[in-house]
A and B are shown apart, each in its own frame.
Chain A
Amino acid sequence: QSALTQPPSASGSPGQSVTISCTGTSSDVGGYNYVSWYQQHPGKAPKLMISEVNKRPSGVPDRFSGSKSGNAASLTVSGLQAEDEADYYCSSYAGGNNLVFGGGTKLTVL
């Protein structure tokens, strides 16, 4: 069982916005501004899309944004495109040498 809770699936039509949630505890998501989001296409390695709650690495479209409130973080994908269809994972630093991941959300572009 994953330490962070994500919905198993999410969907939206092209051009729409979709938000994926990631719920943890005060020991991880709520305790640090160190939430990351990864995109993973089938058969590929994860790709970092958001770091430190809301920072986009170079090359990541600004359609991707992150936020956090209390023990929950969110990833919003605006202006959905076909290539956004993938699995998305959140992770959070949890103190010491602890890193926890979510179970993943399959995003379908209808």
Chain B
Amino acid sequence: QVQLKQSGPGLVKPSQTLSLTCAISGDSVSSDSTIWNWVRQSPSRGLEWLGRTYYRSKWFYDYAPSVRSRITVNPDTSRNQFSLQLNSVTPEDTAIYYCARGKMATGFDYWGQGSLVTVSS
């Protein structure tokens, strides 16, 4: 059974960097048949796909245009996890952040428990 467990701070100051980690069990971040994503949810923006990483003989990274200049998604093969870094945050980045497994075309079949991140001084 695949499980995704998220960790990271729940409060980030404006202009600083939001960092979250998603630990994977029951699957491998290096699997060549799946994709690892970050999605956020807020009352103002609804559900929003942020970015993904996946391995197909080499690592690939894709990001949503809305955050492309500020986001990094990185795999950590030694710990079988992947991370989200979002730079220069503002209160607009306050949201519940989820990691999720799956492809855009076929849907996200496993989700982390969610992490409420508040951007406030």
B26 within 8 A of A: no
**Known contacts A97-B62, A101-B46, A101-B48; A51/B104 CB under 8 A:** no
Q: State which residues 74-102 of B face A: CB under 8 Å.
A: 98, 102
A103 within 8 A of B: yes
B63 within 8 A of A: yes
Q: Contact check, A2 vs B46: say whether CB atoms are below 8 A apart.
A: yes
Q: Contact check, A101 vs B47: say whether CB atoms are below 8 A apart.
A: yes
Q: Contact check, B105 vs A48: say whether CB atoms are below 8 A apart.
A: no
Query: At the interface, is chain B mostly helix, strand, loop or mixed?
Result: strand
Return the contact of A89 from the options B47, B62, B104 (Cβ within 8 A). B47
B36 within 8 A of A: no
- Which residues of A have CB within 8 Å of B104? 34, 93, 97-99
- For A32, A48, A103, the residue with the greatest tally of chain B CB atoms inside 10 Å of its CB is A48
Q: Give complex CA distance A47, B104 in Å.
A: 14
Q: Chain B: interface residue count, which band? A: 10 to 19
A52 within 8 A of B: yes
Q: Contact check, B46 vs A51: say whether CB atoms are below 8 A apart.
A: no
Contact with A along B47-88 (1 / 0, CB 8 A): 111000000000000111000000000000000000000000
Q: Contact check, B48 vs A48: say whether CB atoms are below 8 A apart.
A: no
A7 within 8 A of B: no
- Which residues of B have CB within 8 Å of A91? 47, 107
Q: Contact check, A32 vs B111: say whether CB atoms are below 8 A apart.
A: no
Q: Give complex CA distance A51, B112 in Å.
A: 19
A57 within 8 A of B: yes
Q: Give complex CA distance A102, B107 in Å.
A: 14
Residue ranges of B at the interface with A (Cβ–Cβ < 8 Å): 46-49, 62-64, 98, 102, 104-109, 111-114
Pairs A–B under 8 Å by Cβ, sample size 28: A2-B46, A34-B104, A34-B106, A38-B108, A45-B98, A45-B112, A45-B114, A46-B111, A47-B111, A48-B102, A50-B107, A51-B106, A51-B107, A51-B109, A52-B105, A52-B107, A89-B46, A89-B47, A91-B47, A93-B105, A97-B63, A97-B104, A98-B104, A99-B49, A99-B104, A101-B48, A102-B46, A104-B46
